[in-house]
Chains A and B, each alone.
Chain A
Amino acid sequence: MTDKKEKINIKAALTLATTALLGCTVSQVQAQEVDEWAFDAALLYYSEVDRVSAAETIFNANKTFANDEVLNLKLTIDTLTGASANGAVAQPSIQTFTRPSGNGQYQTPVGDTPLDDTFKDTRVQFNAQWTQPLAPNYTGSIGAHFSKEFDYLSLGLNGNLAFDFNNKNSTFSLGFSYFQDTLTPKGGIPNPLTSMLIGDSARSGDDDDDDFINIDDGWDDSFALTRLGKDDTKSTADILLGFTQVINRQMIMQFNYSYSVVDGYLNDPFKIVSVVDAGGITQGNIYESRPDTRIKQSAYMQSMYHFDSTILDVSYRYMWDDWNINSHTIDSRFRIPLSEGSYIQPHFRYYQQSAADFYQPFIMDNDMPSEFVSADYRIGEMTALTIGLKYGMLINDGNELSFRLEYYRQTPTDAGFTEPGVLQDVELYPTIDAIIGQVTYSF
């Protein structure tokens, strides 16, 4: 018993010394770690070339109690900086855009994809999950989620029931989750399909640019007219059916089906779509408009195979929704143990999606959309590739320190839109390269 107490004190000391690192091994009951707190601390850095950068840190604490109940607590903090594509097309001239708040502007150089660098946000998220046996072969779990950033609040609940049979070789699981989100974007909710006014609350009237509205001409009022309100909400309800089967001593497989309904404000309040003429010259930009519901379904299959010492993990997911987006995801990891508890694990992920019905990279001015339109490449046609490597090692009497480095490349592709005029000379589908680096300490 004294040995265990000493271990906890070492943990406490480490917690103070290395503030960014707490760690925990979740879910599995370990032969050596019963009735103890297990911690994980991870720090991740995500950086796109010339675009968004994000830093995210997770503190996870997990404890198994005397009667096989498990409590998991997780704190996540992330910050986002840098620029994101606003949906407008590149042009052979300098472009000026109004910041989403209405205060200030930004300009895009000739030929560049317009990027809005207004996003500097910090988010805090807290998750709690309680799992316990309900009866022989029945396990239940419930959890709560809370997430807050400057302009977004998300509250969620989840519940899950698992039933084991065939000597626990097979398991059926049924889960549901419900999230209620509130968006309060700076500058308010833009009126979909209305034009983005070029103006600036800070500037006073000495411009003779016809299109420029300044504070003297009632900018604030004009801007307010393009806004619907201060905030809006969105709800997400998910149901998940799972089946796990042990194939043999070395192999296990899982099959899941999920059905998800999202309802409410689904637009991205910061995204616009360019309206161009026959020569491809932008005449103006309008705020995007998406449907207020989305029904997503997915079928997922995963298998894990333990060779003599290496482990292969391969999964495939097919997703389809009522926006007509279909996607395929292949994800695989191969764990290669090295000496004394250390290992390397290469990672490969391939992703492909089709464009949403209402996705258009731009709008022809003689063919304005009546209902829905978005130029957000994230619901356009694209493929993405991730290649990574993780290295883990044991330090300090059985604690794991691991490093993960990945390369993520998103390649938006042309979903069949003829490019008029000057749009043929600019990059409409820029590739986005990102590096992901992560350090995790589990103790």
Chain B
Amino acid sequence: MQHSIKKILLLTVLFSLFVSSVSFANTTSVNSQKALEKALEQHQGQVVYLDFWASWCGPCVKSFPWMNAIHKKYEQQGFAVISVNLDANKKLAEKFLVKNPASFAVIYDPKGKIAKHFAIQGMPSSMLIGRDGEIKSRHTGFFTKKIPEYEKEIEKLLSEK
């Protein structure tokens, strides 16, 4: 009798753990989308460079120094870089950030819900959001030789009211 009560208790504990982990997972992904919405709200009326990256993406390493630079350079004019990390394993993203620090916000989207929502076509991907909150341009991949082109786009959007 006692043995079967212990079994039931064990199963109940395991079941509630499972249920809570499932709901935790759900809240995490809901959290990532909410976190992005919150970040975008904070920069309403500003130009936002939204970047999608992962620790295993080579060109992402090259993009970080530049993103840090533009985040600082255009800040005064009402500009911000917001990044979305798509690592399935958050620890790898944290390791990457130790070697390549980010002065801009990082939102974790391990399940890729935000990436799916924006139909990301390649890694890395970036989008420029204008002061009116609309997506003005999208880029797939990061190419150092295109940096002048990227900066021209940003400056054009900054000059718009």
Cβ-neighbour of B58 out of A31, A67, A136, A168 (below 8 A): A31
A110 beta carbon closer than 8 Å to chain B: no
Contact A66 B58 (CB under 8 A): no
A-B contact count (CB 8 A): 30
Cβ-neighbour of A66 out of B55, B56, B60, B144 (below 8 A): B144
Contact B145 A31 (CB under 8 A): no
B61 beta carbon closer than 8 Å to chain A: yes
Knowing A66-B144, A67-B143 are in contact, say whether A29-B58 is a contact too (CB < 8 A). yes
Cβ-neighbour of B122 out of A31, A32, A64, A168 (below 8 A): A168
CB distance from A340 to the nearest CB of B (A): 14
Chain B interface helix/strand/loop/mixed? helix
Interface residues on A, range: 10 to 19
Cβ of B122: which chain A residues have Cβ within 8 Å of it? 167-168
B121 beta carbon closer than 8 Å to chain A: yes
Chain A's closest residue to B121 (CB) is A167
Knowing A167-B121, A167-B122 are in contact, say whether A31-B61 is a contact too (CB < 8 A). yes
Complex formed: what's the CA distance from A32 to B60 in Å?
A: 10
Complex formed: what's the CA distance from A68 to B61 in Å?
A: 12
Chain A interface helix/strand/loop/mixed? loop
A12 beta carbon closer than 8 Å to chain B: no
Contact B144 A67 (CB under 8 A): yes
CB distance from B67 to the nearest CB of A (A): 15
Contact with B along A166-193 (1 / 0, CB 8 A): 0110000000000000000000000000
Chain B's closest residue to A164 (CB) is B122
Cβ of A35: which chain B residues have Cβ within 8 Å of it? 62
Knowing A67-B143, A67-B145, A167-B121 are in contact, say whether A34-B62 is a contact too (CB < 8 A). yes
CB distance from A27 to the nearest CB of B (A): 12
Chain B's closest residue to A167 (CB) is B121
Complex formed: what's the CA distance from A34 to B65 in Å?
A: 13
Q: Could you tell me which residues of chain B, from 95 to 148, have a CB within 8 Å of some CB in chain A?
A: 96, 99, 121-122, 141, 143-145
A32, A64, A167 interface centre (most CB from chain B within 10 Å): A32
Contact B60 A31 (CB under 8 A): yes
Cβ of B8: which chain A residues have Cβ within 8 Å of it? none
Cβ of B62: which chain A residues have Cβ within 8 Å of it? 34-35, 66
Cβ of A18: which chain B residues have Cβ within 8 Å of it? none
CB distance from B118 to the nearest CB of A (A): 14
A19 beta carbon closer than 8 Å to chain B: no
CB distance from B64 to the nearest CB of A (A): 11
CB distance from B142 to the nearest CB of A (A): 10
Cβ of B11: which chain A residues have Cβ within 8 Å of it? none
A370 beta carbon closer than 8 Å to chain B: no
Chain B's closest residue to A28 (CB) is B58
Chain A's closest residue to B56 (CB) is A31
Contact A31 B143 (CB under 8 A): no
CB distance from A336 to the nearest CB of B (A): 20
Contact A32 B145 (CB under 8 A): no
CB distance from A260 to the nearest CB of B (A): 34
A30 beta carbon closer than 8 Å to chain B: yes
Contact with B along A221-234 (1 / 0, CB 8 A): 00000000000000
B57 beta carbon closer than 8 Å to chain A: yes
Contact A32 B144 (CB under 8 A): no
Complex formed: what's the CA distance from A67 to B141 in Å?
A: 11
Smallest CB-CB A-B distances: 3 pairs: A29-B58, A66-B144, A34-B61
Known contacts A64-B58, A67-B145; 12 additional CB pairs below 8 A are A30-B58, A31-B56, A31-B57, A34-B58, A34-B59, A35-B62, A66-B62, A66-B145, A67-B143, A136-B141, A167-B122, A168-B122
8 residue pairs A–B, Cβ–Cβ below 8 Å: A30-B58, A31-B61, A34-B59, A35-B62, A66-B144, A68-B143, A136-B141, A167-B121
